[in-house]
Amino acid sequence: MCGIAGLYYPNIAKPVDPARVAQMSDAQAHRGPDGSGVWTAPGVGLGHRRLSIIDLGGGAQPMLTPDQQIAVTYNGEIYNFQEVRAELERLGAQFLTHSDTEVLLHGWRAWGPDMLARLNGMFAFALYDAKSKSLFLARDRFGVKPLHYAQLSDGAVAFASELKGILAHPSFRRVPDFRAVEDYLGLGYVPDDASIVAGVKKLPAGHFMLIERGKPVPQPVQWWDIDFSQRATGKPKDLQAELVEHLRAAVTSRMISDVPLGAFLSGGVDSSAVVAMMAEASRSAVKTCTIGFDVADHDETSHAQLIADRFATEHRARKVAADDFALIDTLVDAFDEPFADASALPTYRVCELARENVTVALSGDGADEAFAGYRRYKFFAAEERMRGLLPGGLRSGVFGTLGKYFPKADWAPRPFRAKTTLLALAEGGEYAYPKAVGVTGPELRHRLYTRKALKALAGHNAEQRYTDTMRLAPARDGLDRAQYADIKHYLPGDILTKVDRTSMAVSLEAREPLLDYRLVEFAATLPPSMRIRSGQGKWLMKKALEPWLPRDILYRPKMGFVTPISAWFRTALADEAAALARSKVLADTGWFDAATIQALAADHRSGRAEHGRTLWQLLMLERSLTRLFG
């Protein structure tokens, strides 16, 4: 795994200072502590920081073809590079290394942008073609690996794995973007097509850009999409067998490494399934690790130990404090942008633990989005069935009126929040689901904003991105559309960002076998009844894994990395919450109403209301703005 950076002048072949590219690259040194490189030519400069995984001696970057006509800087792993290499050799390509990087050089020469469809992996790369004087930027299907870009005042296009790489360029002017703040407060993260810094964008997952000299910088082009509109017709037993074969292939392909490799093990279905397949394929004990908490309600170490014992893994567990908020500033540095998923704290700790013994770790991320594992899918599917019983106008009138006057109970479990459920039923699914998956709702956000902020938004709202995606989804029903939108937004914006930044902060490569595109494309064809049945999400996946995993693991309630942030803001962080109303950096933006923030903190501290997640968002926003602009 690596960090990439560079500059490209689309209008003129202006000389590029290697020291400037090195400065951008070195700002991401944590992503690649094993080596660095810079290559420049008229109008272009590529930088690289290397974490050595494959071909330790021969995979240095930037890498060039022998004739110096094609150069690439690349972050990621191509899991099927040996098959692609064999195909290229049949076409006459001659390889000088055993690295997957070289496949990109020869693949570009043979197929151009069409080579992306042949690649199975996680990647973000920049490739310069001297013959066409063009720069090609590409990102993998799901957005496992990040890629930021911006156009500078002198016309250069700057790119980097992380925002800090672009910000290291001295001519880039930092200005906050309030529309991204709206997105962040609504969703809990700054999504892929936005940035907290105005003028910076992220190349969306499954997209590329071909920037040619003498032409305007184009919009990204989508090269891959997931299709939920098709349906598998096989018997459940046959589909279970097919699922296991996809899972086995996905895991074994991600075990190729020239450095020590292991796995995260939480004791949940997904990471346990990965460890089961690793144990089947490995000749030696799989190295596993888990993080536990000093509060029993949040601790899963006993479940992880059960799986470790079953597969005789070389297991390490470590207990950390549930109130591990001392990591806040570390996370602010790692993420650059505000990021409100508090499970980043234990994720960082498990990456830290893994890095003590391995350089590569397999994770269980992705199955919830692909196989409908989140509880919210079950509730949404039930709401969709109820919506189908009444015409839209009648539904809006009946449920909307009841919801308007029903008392609010945000503190209650989701099934008992009648006001929330009634209001959701009154709306179409493409309007209700974005609010269900969000963090701070539209009404509370508008209370937080000043008139200046509302004017700056000019009607922009965080939920619209989800609504538009669900409307246009290649899908048959509401569950399809919800999963599709999560794969497009929540997965790259939250889950994969969290794992990438926390793992790279400690120079660890994390691999996600459950996001093998063939496995996810298979999951998208499953009828809804094979994704959710009898209140169980991931139904077919769990049935398929019954020969491998105990029922206590397969069918116990989902826990995940839970952090008690609400309790923090009534105890250890209560004063921090109150201080947000007096924050200079928030006040200087002119965007937030201090009295509203003060009231939120006071009401939460007293127990009159539940605002823990919003207060956490505001705290992380305040810290991020201070770091970036303070």
- Which residue do the tokens 């633990």 mark? 353
Q: What is the DSSP letter of 217?
A: P
Choose among 501, 436, 500, 464: nearest CA to 193: 464
CA atoms within 13 A on the CB side of 312: 6
Helix axes 178-187, 612-629, angle to 10 degrees: 150
- H or E segment to which residue 25 belongs: helix 18-26
Separation of alpha carbons 93 and 109, rounded Å: 9
CA dist 561 to 59, 350, 491, Å?
36, 11, 16
> What is the token pair recorded at 86?
């064999």
Exposed, middle or buried, 350 (CB in 10 Å: 0-12/13-18/19+)? buried
Residue 206 is which amino acid?
Answer: G
Beta bridge partners of 235: none
Q: How many CB atoms lie within 10 A of CB 488?
A: 25
The contacts of residue 575 (CB under 8 Å, 6+ apart) are none
Are the C-beta atoms of residues 75 and 2 closer than 8 Å to each other? yes
Beta 200-202 vs 261-264: how paired, if at all? unpaired
The contacts of residue 21 (CB under 8 Å, 6+ apart) are 5, 6, 7, 38, 40, 45, 46, 47
Residue tagged active-site, from 2, 7, 275, 524: 2
Q: How many CB atoms lie within 10 A of CB 345?
A: 24
Helix axes 463-472, 478-485, angle to 10 degrees: 130
Mark 53-63 as b/e (b = at least 16 C-beta within 10 Å): bbeeeebbbbb
The contacts of residue 172 (CB under 8 Å, 6+ apart) are 150, 152, 158, 166, 199
Choose among 583, 604, 368: nearest CA to 486: 368
Are the C-beta atoms of residues 134 and 212 closer than 8 Å to each other? yes
Separation of alpha carbons 60 and 75, rounded Å: 12
2 given a catalytic annotation? yes
CA dist 204 to 43, 137, 572, 614, Å?
25, 11, 38, 27
The three-state secondary structure class of 214 is coil
Are the C-beta atoms of residues 97 and 54 closer than 8 Å to each other? no
DSSP string, 330-397: HHHHHHSS----TTHHHHHHHHHHHHTT-SEEE--TTHHHHHT-SHHHHHHHHHHHHHTTS-HHHHHH
Are the C-beta atoms of residues 463 and 431 closer than 8 Å to each other? yes
Separation of alpha carbons 623 and 340, rounded Å: 12
Residue 427 is which amino acid?
Answer: E
Separation of alpha carbons 482 and 435, rounded Å: 12
- The catalytic residues are 2
